[in-house]
Amino acid sequence: MNGRSAMRLARLQEALVGGGTIHLSEAARLCGVSEMTIRRDVAASDGAIVFIGGRLVMADNPQFAPVYDLDEQRGSHYFAKQRLCHEAAAFIEEGDTLFIDCGTTLMPLVSLLSSFNALTVVTYALNVASAVAALPGVRLILLGGLYHDSSQSFGSDDMDEAIERLGINKAFISAAGVDPERGVSCFHFHEVAPKRAAIAAATQCILVVDETKLGVIRPARFAGLEAFDVLICDGEAGQALSSWQRHATATRIRILLA
């Protein structure tokens, strides 16, 4: 990609941020180049803007649900996550202060918040923040710091203190691995502090993972299973289920299947 091309894309991106589409011809006119050049720009770009039937739309704006075809979404566990989040949303009440963890698992939860009008969301994830910022009735508190690309989230030394100062009601936590003996873990160490602080601060802790995470151990352990009040999981393959129910009664965790 070249400099001028990047500038045109930025120009178009600015036009499309906040939603909407523009037709190829319109985009070409706007940038003062031919339609073919716009096509080439978009094709060579990182995929932030895509074509849909001769129109340009923002694709990766987390503010919106993905544009991809539904069968692709099916493949990427999109529907599974949607179901999980639907279950999770049932715990939310008007006036709550929610902690929402980073990752893609809890993204569908954000779009379910639009029906409330007195929520506060605390997060340290950029994608979550961008999505929440678009909701009119939801207050957003972003815990800043140094950005980590790997998890689209921020990390800082005093994040735990910042979380302590907030009155968090319910914490929705995601994880990359959940094991009854070895606890709940994630990939990145900078996520440990905010997760722990949120779990400690929250009245109710809800762990949301899809079933591929069960029995898996990742490098950064941040809690034991007993730290959570509810585990929301999708039990398509119910084989491991019975053993998990045993663990559940042992740790008093409540398992919900989406």
Partner DNA sequence: CATGTTTTGTGATTTTTCTAACATTTTTTT
Partner DNA sequence: AAAAAAATGTTAGAAAAATCACAAAACATG
> Is there a contact between 216 and 176 (Cβ–Cβ < 8 Å)?
yes
> Is there a contact between 244 and 214 (Cβ–Cβ < 8 Å)?
yes
Which of 10, 11, 20, 34 is the binder for DNA (CB under 7 A)? 34
4 scored as a contact of DNA (CB under 7 A): yes
24 scored as a contact of DNA (CB under 7 A): yes
Minimal distance, residue 205 CB to a second copy, in Å: 22
Distance CA 41, CA 108 (A): 30
How many residues lie near DNA (CB under 7 A)?
A: 20
Distance CA 101, CA 107 (A): 9
Distance CA 163, CA 19 (A): 32
Q: Among residues 121 and 173, whose Cβ is nearest to a second copy?
A: 121
204 binds, among a second copy, DNA, none (CB under 5 to 8 A by kind): none
Angle between helices 24-31 and 35-44 (to 10 degrees): 100
Region from 36-44, 67-75, 81-89, 186-194 binding DNA, contact rule CB under 7 A: 36-44
Minimal distance, residue 57 CB to DNA, in Å: 11
Distance CA 78, CA 70 (A): 9
Q: Which residues bind DNA (CB under 7 A)?
A: 2, 4-5, 23-25, 32-37, 39-41, 43, 51-54
